[in-house]
Amino acid sequence: MDDALATALSDAFSGRPVERVTGVGPSWNGANETVGVVFSDGARVFCKVAIDGDGRRIARERAVLRYVTDERPLAAPEVLAADPDAAVPYLITAPAPGRELSDLWEAVGDESLGGEPVSDSIAGEVTGDGPRDAIRTALLRRVGATLATLHTERFETAGETVGLDATADGGTALAIEAAPWPDVLLATIERTREIGTSDRLASHYDAVIDCVESNRDRLRDAPAALLHGDVAMPNLFVTEESADGPEGDAGPDGVVPIDWELAHVGDPARDLVRAEDQLLNGFDTVGPERFAEALYAGYRERAGGLPPGFDDRRSIYRVVRMLGRSGFVDQWSTYLDEPTASLVERADAELEARLDAVWRE
């Protein structure tokens, strides 16, 4: 255990002996470190520390987790301890119920994973061309419905989440630092720059920023909802379903999102475009259309349609999504076992194509 983690755990659980620390899989966020912690009494928690010393992300995630848990019909990990103002800012949460979506995705069709059968009940109603695709399709419909539930509540304006406020009826509301949606979107681009792990394609940030600035009129009137900001398979946990619905306190669809540090208030279309890309696409590959259709179908069924203006702004958000490649091209090189130079060339070409698509509209 390194000094940062030891300091956070000592502050939050003074004198409580730790049996072991476990990894939680690869992370491309260079500003944080997250581990699983098993105490000597068998209890388990997850500890995230901001190794760059910036506690704003910790404050944001703590506030959003408590708000979602208390005020929204969604499930989220319980906050056990947090201190964004500590010398080593930290957030400690209870484990999320269910199984990680990325594990389920790979295990579909296998006999079992970790001794637990992968049953049809994990996906609910199963329909489609084959059992493997049917279960994956059903899972994506549940994710789409969960996003629609998150986006149901509208805010008066876009903005950055900075904490919690008390309401007159004794509840809690998100404290929002209001700003026009284009400005909030630009702030998220700067956050990507901050946590990125490579500056090989630094010029891409300037090109994306220019695209957003040039399309302020298309972005300005977008609706405002709470966005998760990082809807990737490792950040979604899925519970079993029964005839009475999902097991336990896991929300209406049995999907529990974790890792809310990038949450903000803005255009729900942006969250949905990002979700499709992170869940289904690769560096320069596109997932099967039937899976994207399942994600959107789940959203439509819950929300009654896609977010207003989705088709008009989708191409802009696809440009912004390129930074998930450009800012982490070194990580992609390792993951794909391909030369960085080749990925740089392909990313340059893809960004140019996406920018052209925006200008043609």
**245-299 residue pLDDT tens:** 555 566 789 999 999 999 999 999 999 999 999 999 999 999 999 999 999 999 9
Lowest mean pLDDT among 24-33, 191-200, 217-226, 307-316: 24-33
Q: Do residues 120 and 257 lie in contact, with contact meaning Cβ atoms separated by under 8 Å?
A: no
Q: What is the per-residue pLDDT for 249?
A: 66
Taking only the tens place, the pLDDT of each residue in 216-256 is 999 999 999 999 999 999 999 998 764 445 555 667 899 99
> Distance between CA 106 and CA 90 in Å, rounded?
31
- Options 3.40.50.1100, 3.90.1200.10, 3.20.20.70, 3.80.10.10; which CATH number does 99-360 get? 3.90.1200.10
pTM: 0.90
In this predicted structure, what is the pLDDT of residue 241? 61
Which residues are CB-contacts of 337 (< 8 A; sequence separation ≥ 6)? Answer: none
The pLDDT of residue 111 is: 36
The predicted structure's pLDDT at residue 109: 53
Whole-number pLDDT of residue 248: 53
Q: What is the pLDDT of residue 127?
A: 42
**Tell me, what amino acid is at 21?**
V
Burial bucket for residue 355 (CB in 10 Å: 0-12, 13-18, 19+):
buried
- In angstroms, the CA 285 to CA 271 distance is 20
What percent of the chain has pLDDT above 70?
91
pLDDT at 4: 84
| Spatial distance between the Cα atoms of 291 and 138, rounded to a whole number of angstroms | 9
Instruction: Report pLDDT digits (tens) over 153-186.
Output: 999 999 999 999 988 888 889 999 999 999 999 9
Domain residue ranges in the chain: 3-93, 99-360
C-alpha angle 243-247-253 in degrees, rounded to nearest 5: 80
pLDDT at 40 exceeding the cut of 50 = yes
- DSSP letters spanning 136-192: HHHHHHHHHHHHHHHHSSB-SS-EEEEEEEE-TTS-EEEEEEE--HHHHHHHHHHHH
Superfamily for domain range 3-93 = Phosphorylase Kinase; domain 1 (3.30.200.20)
